[in-house]
Amino acid sequence: MMKVGVFDHLDGAGSPLTEQYEDRLKLIGLYDQAGFYAYHLAEHHSTPLGMAPSPNLFLSAAVQRSRRLRLCPLVYPLVLYHPLRLAEEICMLDHMSGGRLEFGIGKGASPYELEIYGADPREWAPRAHVEALQVLMQALTHDVVDFDGEIYKFHNAPMVLRPLQRPRPPMWYGASRAEGAAFAAQQGFNIVANAPAERARPIYDSYRQAWVDAGRGEADMPMLGMNRFVVIAETDQAATAVAARAYRRWNGNFWQLWDARGPRPYAYYPDTFEEAETAGFGVAGSPAKVLETLSDQLARSGASYLVCRFVFGDLSLAEATRSVELFAREVLPLLDVSQAAAQ
């Protein structure tokens, strides 16, 4: 059976935020019971796309609602963190979860979010990202940090906390290009791609080639994730109606900061769920339709891990719960990783 995880922007639903947090925590308990591999939480700032701008804070609550589910910020925009402070928080969460923490790193998807926080996305941020990653990796694996960079300088800085998982928790990288996938393979990171099967295939192929070129075996390869919106109901019509409504709000949340600050730099997600489904970003329907669609996309892309967005926009707790239960019972047991990865 293929490993399947959950991705969540935790974007604004229009309900009271206290209620929204509690609903998400209830769903985390359901993901845990249903046998999903991991809960991946995005980080965004100054936008309704991310109502959990501190993933570590939210996941410290998720730790208490789960027992097996792995918990994974995806991703930490490194330039918004002090690398030593981040290393300490990673160690805390790893111990609090009993060694269930994984985490992703990235440069930040939106230049406007970085600018609001005073991080120049054109010059300072790219340099800071490279150095912050180097410091973080040292801080998680050494008792003392010594680093002499252009931006970060540390001399004999003690690292009292160490992660429970050694040498460090598993790491993830959001890969949108083939060269990014090759970098992730060289570092031994898992990846997730937000792209239709045809665009995702070269990303995974680049990763696999870089992994082989480094002299590593196929059996040891990290997970190559594919991210999809998924809504399931008893009929295609019922699922599509829910998905269309919720996606409309999610899409508005996704673009709100971009539209307020300047033009959209690229045409990424379509404006309607119908267009998104046609383009291959998600699927809504009966369990049979969802299984067929996802199996086909996994096979054509070559992904080895599926990440589902079961709740987005104004999907209610009841709607999301029904979708997750149907997926766990009628789709998850039938997804075959060997068929997907072998294509």
Which portions of the chain are predicted below pLDDT 50? 338-343
pTM of the predicted protein model: 0.96
Q: Is 223 exposed, middle or buried (0-12, 13-18, 19+ CB in 10 A)?
A: buried
Say how many C-beta atoms besides its own lie within 10 A of residue 337's C-beta: 17
**pLDDT tens digits for range 162-219:** 999 999 999 999 998 999 999 999 999 999 999 999 999 999 999 999 999 999 998 9
Q: Cβ-count burial of 155 within 10 angstroms (0-12 exposed, 13-18 middle, 19+ buried)?
A: exposed
Residue 114 identity (one-letter amino acid)? L
pLDDT of residue 340: 47
**pLDDT value of residue 337:** 52
Q: How far is Cα 46 from Cα 256, in angstroms, rounded to an integer? A: 10
Greatest CA span in the chain, whole angstroms? 62
Predicted pLDDT at 109 = 82
Give the pLDDT confidence score for residue 75 in this predicted structure. 97
Please give the full DSSP string across 92-133, using - where no structure is assigned: HHHHHTTS-B-EEEES-S-HHHHHHTT--TTTHHHHHHHHHH
Which domains are present in the chain? Answer: 4-74+171-342 (3.20.20.30)
Contact 145, 75 (CB under 8 A): no
Nearest CA-CA partner of 100 in 186, 19, 40, 151: 40
Cβ–Cβ under 8 Å, residues 216 and 184: no
Alpha helices in 149-235 (DSSP H): 178-187, 197-213
